[in-house]
Structure 1
Amino acid sequence: MQFHLSFPISPLVPGIQHNQQLMLMGSCFAEEVGAQLTDHRFNTIINPNGILFNPLSITRALTSYLDGKLYTESDLFQHQDIWHSWQHHSRFSGLSKEAVLQQINQSQTTAIKAVEKLDWLIITLGSAHAYTLKENSQIVGNCHKVPASNFDKRLLTVEEIVTSLDNVMHRLFFRNRKVNILYTVSPVRYVRDGVVENNLSKAILLQAVHHLVNKFNRLYYFPAYELVIDDLRDYRFYKEDLVHPNEQAIQYVWEHVTKYCISPDSQELIKEIAEIRKAAAHKPFNPESEKHILFLKRYEDKVRKLMILYPQIDFQPLLLSFIR
């Protein structure tokens, strides 16, 4: 008897490599995958605007990087003594208007400089539901706990998602002739919208993404959504909120990302780095023992060898874990 549903996944050709520049944008699941890539020493920029859920907010952020936009005081608003940007996650919010602008524009400048050099743009779409300000019909990237009475909620159509992403991709491809785009749909279940409504939202995102992937040569789709929803298919792979995939699920998806999206050479390097990271997390019973000192020296030597073989990768944080 078979109790596990599996399905074929098409590998990326060419695969993602350590010497490439990556940018990840989208939902909180993009941050989970981005953290794994960063931990394994890939050159990543993760969510320059913070977490964004709907495709139109992601498109607007990308457009701002291509336009070289820097934010000003007029782009901020104050709510309950806190300064926010409608286009940014609350991680950028703060009591000081000047500090908020500085943090936003520092991240913005990094994204502006990177966008023309990217090898991979990885976009994780979270929801087709969007919130617009009643006062000007502007779609917001984050509601910042402003009362719901200030917003209208609507379900984006496949057509407007496709049109928005299509337009920004044409601009991106014109500026960056080498960039590849990898789409995923987040397996996070936005049950606050309603279970039926969440499924409808995901269906719209999937239809839009597959329309785009079938249209462009440099666009790819990775089935993170299907791996959690159809392959794992069990609430034991979710956190207590029954909404967010837990660590087991994230690790399962990461294993598939490694197998199907990463180049063979980088897969081997990932294994070496994973071993070193595990050693760095080791807590010795006696830190002063000769055995532990030899253990540290052995892994210090391993990291130094990798630093020679891969000078473009920053191994310094790992090296410091083994230097007494």
Structure 2
Amino acid sequence: MDFRLELSVKPLPQRINIRHKVALVGSCFTDHMGSRLRSMKIPVLENPNGILFNPVSIQQAIQSWIEKRTYTAVDLFFANDCWTSWDFHGQFSHPNQEQCLQGINASIAQAHQFLQEADWLILTLGSAFLYELNSDALAGTAGQVAANCHKVPANHFVHRLASLQEINTALEKLITQVRIVNPDVRIIFTVSPVRHYREGLIENNRSKGTLHLAVAQMQQQFDNVFYFPAYELIIDDLRDYRFYAEDMVHPNYAATRYVWEKFSAATFDEETLSLMQPLEQLRTAMQHRPIHPDTAAHQQFLKSMLAKTQQLSARYPFLDLSEELQYFAGKNA
């Protein structure tokens, strides 16, 4: 007897190769996918503005990379003892204004270059809710969409659910702008399975539903735009709170690994799939912490792993295995 309905993910007609460059933008679920891709030695650029949730902020961020916008002091405000920007996550905030600007502008410059060379752009939409600055906001222009509220009191914002037309307009603009600087880039949309519980469960469902409708519209309107069902894999396939962290909102390790297995099977080409097991073996070996590292047995283990790493590097010279080679050789020294 079957006790669940497993979602069979349709393979993409075009596949990601390990040599491809992949840019990822969006909600915190992007972090999980980005770290997995990075572990596969795939060249990755992940959230140059930090975590972004709504499509309007994602579009505005990508536009700033394309234009290679330079942020100045007038674009920052001071709150909670740090200089920060409404367009960036708190990881870019800093007590020193100049260092805050340096971090922001360096990230934009990197994104500007990477986006022109990217083979794939993965966009994870988290929420259709917008937080717009009102006339009482600390800084900025009334009506400006805040990508991050930076723990500023709620009375500085107008909180509302964006319309389907607003999101369609933002995504149409995003795709059109990206295709001007990189006509061949392929785009994968996902909708984050993370529930925005604080919005309310009913409101969260309306938000996610609006995002799904917008993505479907983009698939109909543009070529080489795909959808990967990360949301459905968690909500409809696993469908159990044991696959969530203690907050009952974020998927746990088992859930994200399940999504990763489905993602790799549906999006990786044969060469990339063939490298998953040997690269996983190297990662596991590097994470091993022996009780007695000086024993002959452990030294032999390291020598064996060094030889395997060297063989893999010789067979696939485009792989950056410098960290692994240094680790195993250094431990043997």
Normalising by structure 2, we get a TM-score of 0.95
Residue in structure 1 matched with residue 30 of structure 2 by the alignment? 30
- The 1-side partners of 2:96 and 2:212 are apart by 40
Residue 232 of structure 1: how far off its partner (Å) = 0.2
2:181 paired residue among 157, 175, 183: 175
Matched residue SS, 1:322: helix
- The 2-side partners of 1:55 and 1:320 are apart by 41
Gaps of 5+ in 2: 136-141
Residue 314 of structure 1: how far off its partner (Å) = 1.6
- The 2-side partners of 1:90 and 1:314 are apart by 31
Residue in structure 2 matched with residue 259 of structure 1 by the alignment? 265
Q: What is the one-letter code of the residue matched to 2:209?
A: A
- Cα deviations across residues 224-267 of structure 1 (Å, max 9, x unaligned)? 00000000000000001000000110111011111111111101
- The 1-side partners of 2:307 and 2:105 are apart by 39
- The 2-side partners of 1:311 and 1:216 are apart by 36
- The 2-side partners of 1:161 and 1:117 are apart by 26
- Cα deviations across residues 48-94 of structure 1 (Å, max 9, x unaligned)? 00000000000000111111112111111101321111000000001
Number of residue pairs matched?
324
Residue 320 of structure 1: how far off its partner (Å) = 2.5
Residue in structure 2 matched with residue 3 of structure 1 by the alignment? 3
Residue in structure 2 matched with residue 221 of structure 1 by the alignment? 227
Matched, 1:194 2:194: no
- The 2-side partners of 1:306 and 1:225 are apart by 35
- The 2-side partners of 1:258 and 1:59 are apart by 26
Gaps of 5+ in 1: none
Residue in structure 1 matched with residue 300 of structure 2 by the alignment? 294
1:12-91 matches, within 5 Å, as 12-91=12-91
Residue in structure 1 matched with residue 287 of structure 2 by the alignment? 281
Q: What is the one-letter code of the residue matched to 2:188?
A: L
Residue 292 of structure 1: how far off its partner (Å) = 1.1
Residue in structure 2 matched with residue 124 of structure 1 by the alignment? 124
Residue in structure 1 matched with residue 144 of structure 2 by the alignment? 138
Residue in structure 2 matched with residue 100 of structure 1 by the alignment? 100
- The 1-side partners of 2:157 and 2:97 are apart by 24
Residue in structure 2 matched with residue 161 of structure 1 by the alignment? 167
- Cα deviations across residues 160-200 of structure 1 (Å, max 9, x unaligned)? 11111112211211221220000000000000000100011
- The 2-side partners of 1:237 and 1:296 are apart by 35
Residue in structure 2 matched with residue 241 of structure 1 by the alignment? 247
Matched residue SS, 1:140: coil
Aligned-pair identity in percent equals: 42
- The 2-side partners of 1:130 and 1:14 are apart by 33
Matched, 1:311 2:317: yes
- Cα deviations across residues 24-43 of structure 1 (Å, max 9, x unaligned)? 00000001110111122111
Q: CA RMSD in A?
A: 1.0
- The 2-side partners of 1:309 and 1:86 are apart by 46
Q: What is the one-letter code of the residue matched to 2:257?
A: Q
Q: What is the one-letter code of the residue matched to 2:58?
A: I
- The 2-side partners of 1:133 and 1:19 are apart by 42
Residue 211 of structure 1: how far off its partner (Å) = 1.0
Matched residue SS, 2:328: coil
Matched residue SS, 1:230: helix
Normalising by structure 1, we get a TM-score of 0.98
- The 2-side partners of 1:224 and 1:254 are apart by 9
Residue 281 of structure 1: how far off its partner (Å) = 1.1
